[in-house]
């Protein structure tokens, strides 16, 4: 099999890692939590970074009126299907072996990824802003606005006494690698076939002399 | 005038120079002192190197300190009720203090000993004896809770206890006072011959730690003072010191101090096991309590056992030998190699070291010097390996550093003396403040001592601390023994009277810690694993409240329909699953202690309301930012009223 095809197929298959490895993680650090508490986000579920972490985040956050982290969200039924679709598509594209299709797959991934990040941001925004009227503790910002507790999209920020850190996890890195491989497949394809506009090999398969 | 001024200035200059020099020299003293301070300084947030599990003596408890800092972390309730932790007050732990004499809220806790594997500390459990109503307790070193207590029949003043054998096969307990066996109504003057001393061998289950009184060896009616197991080459033997071989039953301070030599009893427990296996024992009717705390139900049960297997050593040659040892030996300590058995004749100035090899030789060649109640007495000169001469006054206990040195306390002369095994020469001595009893080197009575520190435990403190009226604290003193000379580092007050202690490297304990109890594993019969499961159930005049706690509320927190004359059970489950988030609860007028409930645990207290009204309860452990809001009410109606039973949280 041609190297480019292999790169594309392997790249697409790397997405399968998302089915058993976390995509994202949010960690909260504070002095009175010497073992930081956190949550791993998979494509189909939230999971405790350490046992009971989500329960303990909920207990803490309920004082400022935040809702519990939901058991499930609609995305969890959509993401696996989309990922599986993209794996299938990538494998098929790989077998077809067209550079255009490789690029197309990469572009779709970029678009889907952007939608995913936007969706994640929306959820975080809602989680950090949708506070119960009856909250026991109501903090305000220096300009008098109600304080929000939205975790960062990526990177870290201080929220009251907690440092909130939001970073991709191994599943995401495998996905990025997969996307990278689809790009590499594109370049490899170009290398293997020369310029698409170059003269085709002759009937005996000898490369054309340029 | 001007000259005067100059003169005065000159004098002042000289004075200030002297003051400066003096100041300098006292600074040097301070620097030296600072060096000692540094050795015990554990910076904020740092951990101590060793745990010291120090018996509380007449407090009945076990105190947990860090070394070298001497900081107190926890007092584990063992034989005495503890209102702070509801031990012996809540319904779950009351059975722990049950005995054949009924519920006993107190005992005198003496000798903690950590479980061993291959003669080395393994950090699984610590055992400790209750002296007064003879019992042995097992404390988990994962939860630091008392998990089991077994009573000892035929025993009285359970003092030569509780010492574990090399692989924790047995925890061994000897009686201090001999008593009629079986108990009977006879004249005290019939002591000689009629009174017996029971040595109990308690088998330990290696998985669960559960104790089972396997057999008792019924010894002559002496007083059995202390004990230690053989190790290495002497594994399979147990050594007990004795006094009152005179068998006096009155004014013992005189009448039990007449014999020039008493004995160390050497018991071959491997031989005893063979006798048990061969059926060479009698089964004696008896009555003793066996109490086990179950971590999954968070509840203790007490069972009364009805018989015990007894071996008569006079009928079984080879089971027990007496090693003559001068002047009422107290401590009976075995060095890390298992070769030397050190007897501390507490009325003498010298220490006696018997040789295990010599002992076996003498036994093999049957070189006996008479017998007592059918038990052969070996010849002192045949077995003694050496004597530490004029070491001090009133030797009590010896521990070992694993580098060939031994350290012995001297009660009367208030000092710790370092001496060399084999040469028997005294190397160093340091005063204690005052009247030292036991001493402890972590692992100092095992095959592998950690010979960095020795902790001396004092009976009397007099002027050492700020005075607190007639009753003063006891104390412990820490010495650095890493060098040739001992160095006093620290002097700290203790909980109760520290008899003995067991020390262990923190690294052997820290990884074993239980942080929370898993809620899903909670099998308490009255558990509520979530707020949905909370309820109030009436059965006649008994009312069972299935209550939960979580930051920062109780569920339910409003209860109506309780009547005067009811017996109200608060079964409270802590729903938290986070480290170090206990909740407490207490009800006005409840004739018991608070509850202090660890995450995932269920505990129960009983309240019998006597007055009509609306009565509050609240969380007693500052748990969270809204701890003060963590409260509730119970409405109590008159007897016979028909206010319906109702329970709510936030109106639901």
DSSP assignment of B285-319: EEEEEEEEEETTTTEEEEEEEEEEEEE-GGGSTTS
pLDDT number for residue B390: 87
A59 touches chain B (CB under 8 A): yes
A160 touches chain B (CB under 8 A): no
pLDDT number for residue A59: 95
pLDDT number for residue B348: 84
Query: How many CB atoms sit inside 10 A of residue A189's CB?
Result: 23
Dihedral sign for Cα atoms in the order B516, B519, B521, B526? positive
| Strand spans (E) along B521-579 | 535-539, 542-550, 553-555, 558-563, 567-574
Q: Which two tokens stand for residue B33?
A: 């002192």
What's the CATH architecture for B100-119+126-329?
Answer: 7 Propeller (2.130)
Model confidence at B5, pLDDT cuts 50, 70, 90, reads: low
Give B51→chain A minimum CA distance, Å. 21
Q: How confident is the model over B171-181, as a mean pLDDT?
A: 97
Give B625→chain A minimum CA distance, Å. 9
B345-392 pLDDT tens trace: 988 888 999 999 999 999 999 999 999 999 999 999 999 999 999 899
Residue B345 to residue B331: CA distance in whole angstroms: 8
CA closest to A31 among chain B residues: B45
Rounded mean pLDDT of chain B?
94
Q: How confident is the model over B131-155, as a mean pLDDT?
A: 98
pLDDT number for residue A210: 38
Using alpha carbons only, how large is chain B's radius of gyration in Å? 29
A136 touches chain B (CB under 8 A): yes
**Secondary structure of residue B648 in the 3-state scheme:** strand
Q: Which two tokens stand for residue B62?
A: 């076990």
Nearest to B635 by CA among B533, B551, B545: B545
A139 touches chain B (CB under 8 A): no
- Pick from B516, B576, B625: CB nearest A63: B625
Give A64→chain B minimum CA distance, Å. 11
pLDDT tens, N- to C-terminus, chain A (210 residues) = 789 999 999 999 999 999 999 999 999 999 989 999 999 999 999 999 999 999 999 999 999 999 999 999 999 999 999 999 999 999 999 999 999 999 999 999 999 999 999 999 999 999 999 999 999 999 998 998 899 999 999 999 999 999 999 999 999 999 999 999 999 999 999 998 875 554 555 555 555 443
Cβ–Cβ gap A63/B576 under 8 Å: no
Q: Report yes or no: B324 and B380 within 8 Å, Cβ to Cβ.
A: yes
Q: Which two tokens stand for residue A44?
A: 């189909």
Per-position b or e across B498-509, b if 16+ CB within 10 A of its CB: bbbbbbbbbebb
Q: Report yes or no: A126 and A150 within 8 Å, Cβ to Cβ.
A: no
Cβ–Cβ gap B577/A56 under 8 Å: yes
Look up tokens 């009422």; give the residue: B328
Residue B554 to residue B545: CA distance in whole angstroms: 11
Distances (CA, A) of A35 to A27, A50, A51, A163: 10, 9, 11, 13
Q: Exposed, middle or buried by CB within 10 Å (0-12, 13-18, 19+), for A191?
A: exposed
Q: Report yes or no: B356 and B340 within 8 Å, Cβ to Cβ.
A: yes
Nearest to B121 by CA among B63, B69, B166, B85: B166
pLDDT number for residue B7: 56
Residue B586 to residue B596: CA distance in whole angstroms: 9
Nearest to B152 by CA among B294, B285, B290, B59: B290
- Domain boundaries in chain B? 100-119+126-329, 523-648
Residue B467 to residue B477: CA distance in whole angstroms: 18
Chain B CB contacts of A138 under 8 Å are none
A104 touches chain B (CB under 8 A): no
- Domain boundaries in chain A? 3-191
What's the CATH architecture for B523-648?
Answer: Sandwich (2.60)
- Pick from A52, A63, A137: CB nearest B578: A52
B546-564 pLDDT tens trace: 999 999 999 999 999 999 9
Q: Report yes or no: B264 and B228 within 8 Å, Cβ to Cβ.
A: no
Model confidence at B28, pLDDT cuts 50, 70, 90, reads: very low
Give B199→chain A minimum CA distance, Å. 47
CB contacts < 8 Å between A and B, how many?
Answer: 20
B223-262 pLDDT tens trace: 999 999 999 999 999 999 999 999 999 999 999 999 999 9
Residue B447 to residue B271: CA distance in whole angstroms: 22
Per-position b or e across B389-409, b if 16+ CB within 10 A of its CB: eebbebbbbbbbbbeebbbbb
**Secondary structure of residue A98 in the 3-state scheme:** coil
Give A156→chain B minimum CA distance, Å. 24
DSSP label at residue A131: B
Assess whether pLDDT exceeds 60 at residue B32: no
Give B578→chain A minimum CA distance, Å. 7
Which parts of B289-440 fold into alpha helices (H)? 356-364, 380-383
Enumerate chain B positions whose Cβ falls within 8 A of a Cβ in A. 516, 550-551, 576-579, 624-626, 629
A209 touches chain B (CB under 8 A): no
Cβ–Cβ gap A59/B625 under 8 Å: no
B439-452 pLDDT tens trace: 999 999 999 999 99
Q: Exposed, middle or buried by CB within 10 Å (0-12, 13-18, 19+), for A84?
A: middle
DSSP label at residue A70: P
Query: How many CB atoms sit inside 10 A of residue A65's CB?
Result: 17
Give A146→chain B minimum CA distance, Å. 20
Q: Which two tokens stand for residue B133?
A: 């109503």
pLDDT number for residue A195: 57
CA closest to B579 among chain A residues: A33
Bridge partners, B368 (sequence order): B378
Q: Report yes or no: A8 and A98 within 8 Å, Cβ to Cβ.
A: no
Cβ–Cβ gap A59/B576 under 8 Å: yes
Q: Report yes or no: B375 and B268 within 8 Å, Cβ to Cβ.
A: no
Query: How many CB atoms sit inside 10 A of residue B102's CB?
Result: 9
CA closest to A59 among chain B residues: B551
Chain A CB contacts of B551 under 8 Å are 59
Chain A CB contacts of B577 under 8 Å are 51-52, 55-56
Chain A CB contacts of B626 under 8 Å are 63, 136
Chain B CB contacts of A52 under 8 Å are 516, 577-578
By percentage, how much of chain B surpasses pLDDT 90?
Answer: 93
Give A75→chain B minimum CA distance, Å. 28
Look up tokens 């004795």; give the residue: B242
CA closest to A61 among chain B residues: B551
- Pick from B577, B579, B629: CB nearest A55: B577
Look up tokens 């203090």; give the residue: B97
Dihedral sign for Cα atoms in the order A157, B577, B629, A130? positive
B580-602 pLDDT tens trace: 999 999 999 999 999 999 999 99
Q: Report yes or no: B136 and B173 within 8 Å, Cβ to Cβ.
A: yes
pLDDT number for residue B349: 83
pLDDT number for residue A125: 96
More confident residue, B232 or B31: B232
List, edge to edge, every strand of the sheet that includes B375-378. B223-229, B237-243, B261-268, B320-326, B375-378, B368-372
Give B551→chain A minimum CA distance, Å. 7
- Pick from A51, A52, A59: CB nearest B551: A59
Nearest to B288 by CA among B406, B176, B407, B202: B202
Bridge partners, B40 (sequence order): none
Cβ–Cβ gap B551/A137 under 8 Å: no
- Pick from B576, B578, B626: CB nearest A136: B626
Instruction: Go through chain B and tell me how many residues it has.
Output: 652
A31 touches chain B (CB under 8 A): no
CA B577, B579, B582 angle in degrees (round to 5)? 75
Instruction: Go through chain A and tell me how many residues it has.
Output: 210
CA closest to B519 among chain A residues: A52
Chain B CB contacts of A137 under 8 Å are 625
Assess whether pLDDT exceeds 70 at residue B19: no
Pairing of strands B351-355, B340-345: antiparallel
CA closest to B578 among chain A residues: A56
Interface test with A, best of B517, B521, B551 (most A CBs within 10 A): B551
Give B602→chain A minimum CA distance, Å. 18
Give A148→chain B minimum CA distance, Å. 19
DSSP label at residue B529: S
Chain B CB contacts of A38 under 8 Å are none
Long-range contacts of B116-119 (CB under 8 A, 24+ apart): B116/B164, B116/B165, B116/B166, B116/B167, B116/B168, B116/B446, B117/B167, B117/B168, B118/B166, B118/B167, B118/B447, B119/B166, B119/B167, B119/B231, B119/B232, B119/B235, B119/B446, B119/B447, B119/B448
pLDDT number for residue B31: 42
Give A131→chain B minimum CA distance, Å. 18
Chain B CB contacts of A55 under 8 Å are 577-578
Per-position b or e across B213-247, b if 16+ CB within 10 A of its CB: bbbbbbbbbbbbbbbbbbbbebbbbbbbbbbbbbb
B297-348 pLDDT tens trace: 999 999 999 999 999 999 999 999 999 999 899 999 999 999 999 999 988 8
Residue numbers of A between 171 and 190 with CB closer than 8 Å to B: none
- Pick from A51, A52, A63: CB nearest B626: A63
Chain A CB contacts of B630 under 8 Å are none
Q: Does a cis peptide bond (omega within 30 degrees of 0) precede residue A184?
A: no
Chain B CB contacts of A139 under 8 Å are none
Q: Report yes or no: B197 and B313 within 8 Å, Cβ to Cβ.
A: no
pLDDT number for residue B34: 60
pLDDT number for residue B636: 98
Give B629→chain A minimum CA distance, Å. 10
Assess whether pLDDT exceeds 60 at residue B104: yes
- Pick from B550, B577, B624: CB nearest A52: B577
CA closest to A58 among chain B residues: B551
pLDDT number for residue B288: 98
A135-191 pLDDT tens trace: 999 999 899 889 999 999 999 999 999 999 999 999 999 999 999 999 999 999 999
């Amino acid at each position: 099999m041609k190297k480019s095809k292999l790169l594309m197929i392997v790249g697409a298959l790397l997405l399968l890692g998302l089915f058993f490895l976390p995509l994202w993680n949010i960690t909260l650090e504070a002095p009175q939590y010497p073992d930081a508490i956190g949550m791993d986000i998979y494509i189909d579920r939230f999971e405790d970074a350490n046992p009971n972490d989500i329960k303990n985040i909920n207990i803490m956050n309920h004082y400022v009126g935040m809702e519990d982290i939901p058991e499930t969200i609609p995305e969890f039924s959509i993401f696996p299907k989309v990922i599986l679709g993209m794996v299938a598509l990538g494998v098929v594209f790989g077998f077809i072996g067209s550079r255009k299709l490789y690029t197309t797959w990469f572009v779709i991934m970029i678009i889907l990824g952007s939608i995913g990040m936007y969706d994640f941001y929306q959820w975080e925004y809602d989680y950090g802003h949708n506070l119960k009227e009856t909250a026991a503790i109501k903090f305000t910002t220096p300009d008098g606005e109600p304080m929000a507790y939205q975790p960062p999209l990526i990177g870290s920020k201080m929220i009251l006494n907690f440092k909130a850190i939001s970073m991709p996890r191994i599943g995401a890195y495998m996905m990025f690698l997969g996307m990278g491989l689809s790009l590499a497949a594109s370049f490899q394809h170009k290398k293997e076939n020369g310029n698409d506009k170059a003269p085709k090999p002759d009937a005996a398969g000898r490369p054309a002399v340029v | 005038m001007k000259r005067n001024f100059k003169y005065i200035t000159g004098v002042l200059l000289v004075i200030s120079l002297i003051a400066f020099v003096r100041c300098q020299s006292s600074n040097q003293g301070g620097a030296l002192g600072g060096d000692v301070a540094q050795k015990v300084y554990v910076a904020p947030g740092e951990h101590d190197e060793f745990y010291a599990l120090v018996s509380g003596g007449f407090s009945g408890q076990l105190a947990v300190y860090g070394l070298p800092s001497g900081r107190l972390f926890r007092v584990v309730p063992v034989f005495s009720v503890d209102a702070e932790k509801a031990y012996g007050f809540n319904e779950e732990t009351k059975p722990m203090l049950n005995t054949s004499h009924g519920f006993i809220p107190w005992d005198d806790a003496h000798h903690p000993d950590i479980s061993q594997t291959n003669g080395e500390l393994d950090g699984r459990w610590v055992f400790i004896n209750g002296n007064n109503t003879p019992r042995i307790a097992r404390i988990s070193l994962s939860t630091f809770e008392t998990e089991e207590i077994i009573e000892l029949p035929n025993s009285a003043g359970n003092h030569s206890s509780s010492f574990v054998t090399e692989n924790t096969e047995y925890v061994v307990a000897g009686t201090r006072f001999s008593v009629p066996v079986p108990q009977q109504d006879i004249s005290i003057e019939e002591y000689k011959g009629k009174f017996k001393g029971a040595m109990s061998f308690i088998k330990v289950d290696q998985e669960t730690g559960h104790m089972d009184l396997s057999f008792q060896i019924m010894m002559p009616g002496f007083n059995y003072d202390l004990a230690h197991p053989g190790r290495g080459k002497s594994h399979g033997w147990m050594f007990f010191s004795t006094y009152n071989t005179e068998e006096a039953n009155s004014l013992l301070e005189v009448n039990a101090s007449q014999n020039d030599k008493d004995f160390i009893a050497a018991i071959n427990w491997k031989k005893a096991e063979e006798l048990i296996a061969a059926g060479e024992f009698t089964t004696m009717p008896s009555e003793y309590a066996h109490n086990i705390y179950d971590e999954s139900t968070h509840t203790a049960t007490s069972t009364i056992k009805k018989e015990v297997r007894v071996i008569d050593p006079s009928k079984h040659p080879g089971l027990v030998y007496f090693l003559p040892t001068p002047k009422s030996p107290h401590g009976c300590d075995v060095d890390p190699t298992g070769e030397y058995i050190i007897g501390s004749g507490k009325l003498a100035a010298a220490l006696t070291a018997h040789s295990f090899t010599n002992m076996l030789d003498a036994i093999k060649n049957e070189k006996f010097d008479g017998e007592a109640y059918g038990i052969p007495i070996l010849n002192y000169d045949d077995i003694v390996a050496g004597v530490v001469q004029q070491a001090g006054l009133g030797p009590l206990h010896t521990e070992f550093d694993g580098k060939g040195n031994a350290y012995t306390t001297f009660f009367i002369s208030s000092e710790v003396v370092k001496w060399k095994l084999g040469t028997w020469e005294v190397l160093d001595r340091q005063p204690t403040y005052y009247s030292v009893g036991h001493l402890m080197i972590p692992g100092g009575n095992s095959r592998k001592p950690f010979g960095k520190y020795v902790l001396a435990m004092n009976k009397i403190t007099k002027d050492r601390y700020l005075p607190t009226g007639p009753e003063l604290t006891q104390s412990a003193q820490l010495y650095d023994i890493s060098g040739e000379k001992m160095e006093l580092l620290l002097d700290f007050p203790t909980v109760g009277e520290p008899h003995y202690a067991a020390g262990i490297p923190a690294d052997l304990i820290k990884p074993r810690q239980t942080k929370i109890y898993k809620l899903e594993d909670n099998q308490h019969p009255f558990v509520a694993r979530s707020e949905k499961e909370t309820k109030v159930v009436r059965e006649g005049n008994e009312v069972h409240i299935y209550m939960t706690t979580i930051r920062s509320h109780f569920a339910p927190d409003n209860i109506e329909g309780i009547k005067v004359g009811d017996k109200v059970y608060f079964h409270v489950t802590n729903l938290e699953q986070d480290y170090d988030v206990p909740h407490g609860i207490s009800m006005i007028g409840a004739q018991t202690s608070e509850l202090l409930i660890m995450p995932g645990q269920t505990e129960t207290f009983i309240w019998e309301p006597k007055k009509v009204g609306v009565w509050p309860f609240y969380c007693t452990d500052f748990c969270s930012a809204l701890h003060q809001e963590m409260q509730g009410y119970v409405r109590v109606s008159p007897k016979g009223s028909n206010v319906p039973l109702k329970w709510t949280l936030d109106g639901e």
